[in-house]
Amino acid sequence: MTLPTPHLDKLNALLENDKLPVEDRVRIDGVIVRYQEWVQAMSQVEGTQEVIIDRLVSLLTEYKQLIDLDTIFDSEGDFLYRQKGQLKLDNSVIEEFLPHLVSKTLPELDNTLHIGPQSCFSAAYFTSTLTRNEDGGGLHIRTKDQDFSLARKVYIRTSHDVNFNDEYLSKEVYLGYICAECKTNLDKTMFQEASATAHDVKAAVPGAKYYLLCEWLDMTPVSTTSTDIDEVLILRKAKRIGSQIRRHYSTSAGRQDRREEYANYLANNPFSRDVFARLVGHIQNVLNEQAPDEGRVLNGGYF
């Protein structure tokens, strides 16, 4: 199975960025070498589901430290640190990791499924009117980018002719059955935006599941009961470093003065094997869902 490479895509795009300082260009060249080693190491992981999760999460923690600390934080300039939100070097690591995790731990996945970032169906509408006829009724498809998905491609064709012999419209789109948004730091605004996205996902595919993943929590936890988010997963089980400390990181000198403090914070809050195992469990439960058996339902009296 060929897996997507969103993180590698961001690394290559960065090398094409004219604003990237020369010294950082050399640094990114070195990261790409380490990236290839990381992907190779993940591809070789084998064992029980528990062993696979442990090893993959360990490899993720190690590689993510290379990105967060050795690459961005240690940069002699300020370009990588100040632009990391736009460059997406950090959170694209999670986007690339999840397909490896899911494909390794759930080998029973259907080969027709797309695993990874994908623009998924969110709505369909028609632009024809009573006085303006359009082929196929003027079908338009609205999609929403998902950081991670288990999706399957479908083809849609519309026509005013029952046999589709006249003019028609054909569209292809991915239906997202499991979708997840990946955030580095989750604040209240991001949570509200994710709630709206989750609603669109489930309005389009009522049986879909939607998860919100973040490395660091940057808000007071709230209940997801009133939203369409199935669960929020905090991948490091930790809160974001306070703004009173982060303000010192805006310059190279400030980062170097506090490097040990930041390195210890990362070391003390590695990615949680339990949280990733929980995500895998959620997906496995969906895979195990079956239509109710009539005999069992009548015997038990419920479904």
pLDDT at position 300 is 84
Nearest Cα residue to 60 out of 271, 294, 222, 300: 271
Nearest to 241, CA basis, from 264, 272, 221, 212: 264
% pLDDT > 90, the chain: 90
Q: Does residue 299 lie within any of the structural domains?
A: no
Examine residue 303 and state whether it is found in any structural domain, yes or no.
Answer: no
pLDDT digits (tens, 9 = 90+) for 3-49: 999 999 999 999 999 999 999 999 999 999 999 999 999 999 999 99
Residue 58's contacts (CB-CB under 8 Å, 6 or more residues apart) are: none
Q: What is the pTM of this model?
A: 0.93
- Tell me whether residue 294 is in a domain: no
| Cβ-Cβ contacts under 8 Å for 255 (sequence gap 6 or more) | 73, 74, 81, 248, 249, 262
Is residue 246 predicted with pLDDT exceeding 80? yes
> Does residue 292 register a pLDDT over 80?
no
Domain that holds residue 258: 6-289
Rounded distance, CA 265 to CA 257, Å? 15
The pLDDT assigned to 11 comes to: 97
Which single residue is written with the structure tokens 């339990």? Answer: 274
Measure the CA–CA gap between 184 and 160, rounded to whole angstroms.
47
Question: Mean of the per-residue pLDDT values for the chain?
Answer: 95
Cα–Cα distance between 238 and 53 in angstroms, integer? 20
pLDDT tens across 92-132, in order? 999 999 999 999 999 999 888 999 999 999 999 999 999 99
Q: What is the pLDDT of residue 155?
A: 96
**pLDDT band with cut points at 50, 70 and 90 for residue 245:** very high
Whether residue 164 is contained in a domain is answered as yes
**Block residue for tokens 């303000």:** 247
* Cα–Cα dist 270/267, whole Å: 6
* Mean pLDDT within 241-263: 96
Q: Output the DSSP codes for 206-259.
A: TT-EEEEEEEEE-S----STTSS--EEEEEEEEEPPPHHHHGGGGSHHHHHHTH
Please count the structural domains in the chain: 1
In a domain, 296, yes or no: no
Encoded tokens for 173: 């789109």
279 occurs within a structural domain? yes
